[in-house]
Amino acid sequence: MIRALKDACQQVFARTKGMAGTKEGSRQLGRGAGGDISRKIDLVAEKTAISVLRKHGVDATIIAEEAGRIEGKNGFVIIDAIDGTTNATRRMPFYCCSIAFATDFKLSAVTDAAIIDLTTGDLYHAAKGKGAFLNGRRIATASNDDLAVSMNISSVRPEIIERLSPVIMKAKHVRQFGSVALEMCYLARGSLDAYIDFRGKVRPTDIAAAYLIVKEAGGRLNSKTGTELDSDLEIKTRLSFFAAANEEMLGDLSDILIG
């Protein structure tokens, strides 16, 4: 399975190269199943991913941001063909293709994952129990004294900002890049120490692959209530969560964010 996911990501990279930031690639073509505006680059990427997976004989049910649910037989493939579409259309080099396979209809059942940085071609992958990798080299989270945290605070309510403010004051470096899946990969490889999104807007399709990659790299993820993150894979489901490089850091963040 992991070979099919990696190949699909690489073919999306090849097919969409040169589309980002162009008028044609940014053209609006209605709305996808996830509710967002569909751009041509989104549709081209998703169709490419699905086509490659089918050529590999993957007959799983597909859960995709544009097409929605396409029924299959064995397991579930979760696709966000362009995570960070706004970045892609505005020529900001931080967006990716994210594909995961799950044996059951929940995040915790994800067993294989691949994410490709669509600006560099860097390929992240993980298989359950076998570790996380970047371009074939094993990666692991890091615990740094000068805390670097990424958080999405776009259009958040004042009470959410108030809840996050102790972390903002404690962190030496606060970032927001605009692609949750790729930001989570940066956590997995040790470039970030934590990620927080309490907006209640994250879809399972956004994080299914990154969820496994972070866990296999040694990271941990919790819901905003402090329980271990899990959810169904419905396209309409929305999540709030935080992730950290290790159990100790997750506990520290939990004390600050939840009390």
Walk along the chain (259 residues) and give the pLDDT tens digit of each residue.
999 999 999 999 999 999 988 888 777 766 767 767 778 999 999 999 999 999 999 999 999 988 889 999 999 999 999 999 999 999 999 999 999 999 999 999 999 999 999 999 999 999 999 999 999 999 999 978 788 999 998 888 898 888 898 888 888 899 999 999 999 999 999 999 999 999 999 999 999 999 999 999 999 999 999 999 999 999 999 999 999 999 999 999 999 898 6
> What residue ranges do the domains of the chain occupy?
2-139, 148-257
- Phi-psi sector, 199: left (phi>0), alpha (psi -120 to 50), beta: alpha
| pLDDT number for residue 91 | 93
C-alpha–C-alpha distance, residues 96 and 87, integer Å: 10
The dihedral over CA atoms of 62, 15, 83, 123, expressed in degrees to the nearest 10, equals 90
| pLDDT number for residue 29 | 67
> What are φ and ψ of residue 169, in 5° steps?
-70, -35
Judge whether 2-139 and 148-257 match in fold.
no
C-alpha–C-alpha distance, residues 127 and 52, integer Å: 19
| pLDDT number for residue 197 | 96
Q: Where does residue 69 rank: exposed (0-12), middle (13-18), buried (19+ CB within 10 A)?
A: middle
Report pTM.
Answer: 0.95
Q: Which CATH class is domain 2-139?
A: alpha beta
C-alpha–C-alpha distance, residues 182 and 214, integer Å: 11
Residues 6+ apart with CB under 8 A from 258: 224, 225, 226
Q: Which CATH number fits domain 148-257: 3.90.400.10, 3.30.200.20, 3.40.190.80, 3.40.50.10540?
A: 3.40.190.80
Token pair of 31 as six digits: 């709305």
Beta-sheet pairing, 148-151 with 76-83: unpaired
